[in-house]
Amino acid sequence: MKTFLHSVLASSLVLASISVLPTMNPARAAAVTESVSAMQVEQFVLPNGLKVYLNRKTDKPRFYAQVVINAGSKQDPSDATGIAHYLEHMLFKGSDELGTQNFAKEKVLLDKITELYEKHFQSKDEKQRQDILKQINQLTIEASQYAIPGELDSLYSRLGAEGLNAYTSNEETVYLVDMPSNRIEQWAKVESERFKDPVFRLFQSELETVYEEKNISMDDKDDILWEAVAEKLYKKHPYGQQTTLGTVEHLKNPSLKKMYAFYHRYYVPNNMALVITGDIDLAATRKLIEKYFGTWKSAAVAPFQVPSETPIKGREQIDVNYKGEEKVMLAFRTVPYGHPDKDALAMVDMLLDSGDFGLIKLNLVQTQKLRAAGSSPWMNRDYGSEHLYAVPREGQSLEEAEKMLLEQLELLKQGHFDEKQMTGVALDFEMAQKRRLQTNQGRASLMTESFLKGQSLADLMKAPQRMRQLTKQQVMEVARRYFGKDYVVGYRHDQEYSFPKIQKPQLGKMKLSPNQRSAFVTAVEAVKPAPIQPRWVDYSRDFKISSFAPGVLFYTAQNPFNDLFQLSFSYDYGDKHQPGFCQVMDELNFAGAGSLKAPEIARRFFEMGVKASFSCGDYGFSMNLTGLDEKLEEAVKLGEQVLWNAQLDPQHFQAKLENLIADRADQKKDPKVLRQALRNYVRFAERSGYLDRMSEAELKQLSVQRYPFFRDQLRKQNFKLFYLGQLPREQVERVLHQHHQPQQIQVPLLNPRQAPELKLEARHKQPVKIYFLNNPSVQSQIDLIIPGGMVKPEEMLMTSFYNEYMDGGMGAVMFQEVRESRALAYSTWSYFLHGNRLGDQDQMLGYIGTQADKSVEALKLFIELIKNPPQSASHFERAYRALENRYRTEVIDYTTVLGRFQYWSDLGLDKDPRPEEFARLSKVKLEDLFSFVKTKIASQPLTFTLVGDKSKIDMAALQKLAEIEEVQVSQIFKD
């Protein structure tokens, strides 16, 4: 099932059977239990109105928790947009007990800062505003001496947390973390304190970080089109008139008082929920929640006043510019989330584009009539809409692409679909739900959706039943009702985009003390639960390897959750063995077989609920099937027909190549692709994937007539079989032997050339060198590359230590120094990457994305952090505890065990290396870590790539830092 858009968060409808939910009385903490397929959900409401959802899942010794607030950016004040989002950021800064060394002294300064921000908010005199910002900066620096930056994240890291994060959307704000199961009480104590009375310290630097996030959005061509269409579609509602990140003007002119008011208005227990799933004791967890969260004070929450939108009248067009591929987006106003037509509209959307099937996919994408096209609904609480998009081919107009999309809607309204396809849609939803219930994150998102949408789990889970009851006539009527001549269309033209002019603020460095600890954190860590015993991979228990045929191995692992299977035929053969192999073999994804045409193949896979794909790379090719175990044989039979007896369409192939050539032209205008191409050019020289590829002239010489030759070459090659599912291995083997067509597998097959060892080219004699590519944009993209020595498995523990020390979350060195202390970037990272197999080189990689006029300052700091990272006992302990907890609680399950086995085998290892690493962990000292830094990293020449706007960067200052080699676009791409 494809992703559905609900607000900014991508979530999806949930399907399965469930018992009826009794009514909950908020006045008492009464519990009810729902059976969601194999998932038991206990729900109760505390006397203060806090809703709680608990689910027990014991396959891993961890739990996943979400704190959900029923408010998002649509509640932002119209004169202070972005508040919900940067409030989310401030909830990581601590409270009057967490994140501070001396709150009494700190508070005096913070109060002054709050008043100054209010004065700044009210002032219209630019000189006065600048003077106020200088005063704020001085007070912020003074207050920073009392702050403990990143204390929340550092604490959580030492407790073994993973994925500490949050997101803000139109209608919700959600805080999430994954923790070891023995830390449930510590989690409850920390979260209770965190949300009870937060303190907005270090606000000025964090605001600059949020602005860097805004810069990323302003450099995103899809965001630009989406926001323009939404503004036209919703002329009164915040869905269109406000963005979650806020306007540039409002971000630069914040009001702390308005943010505190937002917090007090919406961050109250009767407007919140706790969602916990994982290896927890339900009764004990409930007691902890009552103890730590029952003291929160409730307050009345005024309902959101929904603006009354006037109907769209006719076709309304909006145009935007951005260099690169052109794109059209159509938006039709439909219904809000709880409307009776919701299910029928979901069916309409999937019949248009299920991701693998649908009118748009079959008629426009698979036929290559458009370079790309699709649809997705955006169902929110107040209004809903359906969005269709298309990327035209070279020479096509946006008007032509729009017309093609409208034609698909007309076909739908006329009934060009049948009941079998509708049944396939329902089956697709059911399988997506099964996949969702396999993970803690998926289960939590289901419970969160129930809370936010105001619908019981029972009602959510009955969606497939309701969809099966829909008739073709009902679907046609809904399509006719909502997809008429009243809609908004957005055109994105391949023209220069006018980037906002932004000036770097003059911020002084904070006086931060990350090595300190508050009394609150000391008390939290004084609790010493019994340690969790690690679960290592057992090669004799966790998977099986058998001989399928001479030279062909069969790898299997059991799915303990449901009857979904994954099957892959993996060949060590690809484009570097036969140029053009991948271009031709990719056509199997659009092929017929025997007497069956391509649309019929797609229909059969879709109706049996199987996703089939053929993947190809430089040194590998695979056929991949996923679906229900009961459909395994049928899927294998059809997949084999396509693989070995494909009927390829020459016209489709030529259209695909023409689209590929057009894509290559647009790549040269896309900042994201330019960054990747420059980085690969420096890392691999002529072996970069953007250079070591077929030229336009060579592509034009390709033909589907090469398919029989490529197919016959593939028949001669060794391959591996991978199966994840619940069927007995012997049964799967019988199916494969019966339907796998190449009979040559009865004798040993050929061994093709293996992939060459990975060797990096980024070597020079300068201490620091920058490869610079000029590109107009808001942000500069700075990447670090340091080629290492040959991979040594015995060094993996130390590299893990270094990576955790430097880049292990918000409490690590890179985040603290680049983002928290200096507000130079929203996104920054660095890590030491091991080669994938013996003979490969290791490499050190890093990244900072920063506003263009901050490039020199960011790069100077980057060099210092790589050459001379701060030696901190606090950072070392955080990294040590994080690694210890990871070894104790990481479970390599059936979905990843075969991949991990292959990785270890390629490194020459014959067993799980983690027990030995875990035994050595306690012996690692700070000096050992910095000996590794000195030898492997700091003593090496540094190579940087920088994609940015030369007109906004101080190039003279940049040249003082390093030798600069300017690179042209023509050097990093092969036409």
pLDDT score for 249: 86
Q: What is the pLDDT of residues 465-520, one digit of tens each?
A: 898 999 999 999 999 999 999 999 999 999 988 766 666 666 777 777 767 899 99
Q: Which helix (H) or strand (E) holds 653?
A: helix 650-667
CA dist., res. 782 & res. 847, Å (int):
6
Q: What is the signed CA dihedral for 820, 821, 826, 830, rounded to 10 degrees?
A: -90
**Which contacts (CB < 8 Å, 24+ apart) does range 545-548 have?**
546/729, 546/733, 548/721, 548/733, 548/736, 548/737, 548/745
Compute the half-sphere exposure of residue 639: CA atoms within 13 Å on the CB side of its CA: 26
DSSP class per residue in 670-711:
-HHHHHHHHHHHHHHGGGSTTTSS--HHHHHH--GGGHHHHH
Sign, CA dihedral 97-102-108-113, equals negative
Q: What is the signed CA dihedral for 352, 357, 361, 362, rounded to 10 degrees?
A: -110
Task: Give me the residue label for tokens 């009248």.
Answer: 313
Task: Give me the residue label for tokens 């994925």.
Answer: 163
pLDDT score for 661: 93
* pLDDT < 70 regions, the chain: 1-38, 499-506, 514, 742-754, 762-763
Helix (H, G, I), strand (E, B) or coil at 627: strand
Q: What is the pLDDT of residues 208-255, one digit of tens each?
A: 778 778 877 887 899 999 999 999 999 999 999 999 999 888 888 889
DSSP state of 818: I
CA dist., res. 109 & res. 406, Å (int):
60
Q: Compute the 3-state secondary structure of the chain and give helix, strand, coil in percent, each to the nearest 5.
A: 45, 20, 35
Q: Hey, what are 211's tokens?
A: 């602005």
For residue 566, the Cα-to-chain-centroid distance in whole angstroms is 22
Q: What is the pLDDT of residues 369-403, one digit of tens each?
A: 999 999 999 999 999 999 999 999 999 999 999 99
CA dist., res. 261 & res. 135, Å (int):
24
pLDDT score for 38: 57
Please provide the size of the chain in residues. 975
Q: Could you give the domains of the chain?
A: 48-293+501-526 (3.30.830.10), 307-493 (3.30.830.10), 544-746 (3.30.830.10), 768-972 (3.30.830.10)
Residues 6+ apart with CB under 8 A from 456: 21, 34, 450
Q: Can you give the pTM of this predicted structure?
A: 0.91
Per-residue burial over 585-623, b if 16 or more Cβ lie within 10 Å, else e, is: bbbbbbbbbeebebbebbbbbbbbbbbbbbbbebbbbbb
